[in-house]
């Protein structure tokens, strides 16, 4: 019975991520096909990807940039939409683009016993004199797209030599993925 239970759990660990990934891809493709009323399977996702790339290309020139500025100005005039739009724009901009914010991985010391939490340095300066000498660190949560922002004395924050995207994957996975995120190679002495 133990062998059967162990085999079932092992099969579930292998099959569940595969099945969930396939379902998400299938759901996305069929939903886009339905919205675009296309009979060719997968054409919706190709059209959506091409459209997104085209919009990205057009916003890179003067005319497209002006249209984007005009659109953003309109969104900034509506109070609730402004908050939602700014939050989403900053969230996406934190991961991709030229103004990435999650590119400074850090470890924050919690106590004198060496307990640390992993996160990203997001602000190194505050105008409020009560926060002088403090920095802000975003702590992503494992298996979740949420997190916490903490303000901590600068001397308790230590920069890590890690790639931001791989470091984020390590944290979100709860430390299950390999930590192969070093930007530079550290020489380990031979034994």
Would residue 188 count as lying in a domain? no
Tokens (6 digits) for 70: 């005009």
Same domain, 125 and 64: no
- Mind giving me the DSSP string for 84-152? HHHHHHHHHHHHSSTT-S---EEEEE-STT--EEEEEEEES--SSGGGTTEEEEEEEPTTSS-EEEEEE
Same domain, 49 and 118: no
Whether residue 122 is predicted with pLDDT greater than 70 in this model: the reply is yes
Would residue 190 count as lying in a domain? no
Would residue 67 count as lying in a domain? yes
Same domain, 90 and 17: yes
How many angstroms separate the Cα of 119 from the Cα of each of 73, 110, 165, 167, 171? 33, 13, 12, 9, 8
pLDDT band at 95 (very low <50, low <70, confident <90, very high): low
Quick check: 134 and 154 in contact, CB under 8 A?
A: yes
Would residue 153 count as lying in a domain? yes
Tokens (6 digits) for 138: 């975003």
Mean pLDDT score, 117-132: 88
Instruction: For residue 166, give its domain range.
Output: 105-172
Cα 131 to Cα 135: distance, rounded to the nearest angstrom:
8
Same domain, 26 and 82: yes
Whether residue 52 is predicted with pLDDT greater than 60 in this model: the reply is yes
Question: In this predicted structure, what is the pLDDT of residue 134?
Answer: 92
Percent of the chain topping pLDDT 90: 7
Question: In this predicted structure, what is the pLDDT of residue 153?
Answer: 92
Same domain, 90 and 126: no
């Amino acid at each position: 019975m133990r062998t059967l239970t162990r085999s079932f759990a092992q099969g579930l660990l292998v099959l569940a991520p595969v099945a969930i990934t396939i379902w998400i891809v299938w759901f996305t493709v069929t939903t886009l096909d339905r919205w675009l009323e296309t009979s060719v399977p997968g054409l919706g996702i190709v059209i959506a990807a091409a459209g997104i790339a085209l919009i990205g290309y057009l916003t890179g020139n003067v005319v497209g940039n002006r249209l984007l500025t005009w659109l953003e100005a309109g969104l900034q005039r509506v109070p609730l939409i402004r908050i939602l739009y700014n939050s989403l724009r900053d969230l996406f901009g934190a991961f991709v683009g030229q103004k990435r914010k999650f590119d400074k991985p850090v470890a924050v010391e919690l106590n004198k016993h060496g307990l640390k939490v992993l996160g990203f340095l997001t602000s190194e300066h505050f105008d409020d004199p009560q926060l002088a000498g403090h920095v802000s660190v975003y702590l992503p949560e494992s298996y979740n797209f949420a997190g916490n922002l903490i303000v901590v004395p600068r001397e308790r924050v230590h920069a890590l030599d890690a790639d931001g995207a791989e470091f984020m994957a390590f944290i979100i996975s709860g430390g299950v993925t390999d930590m192969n995120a070093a930007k530079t190679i550290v020489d380990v002495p031979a034994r």
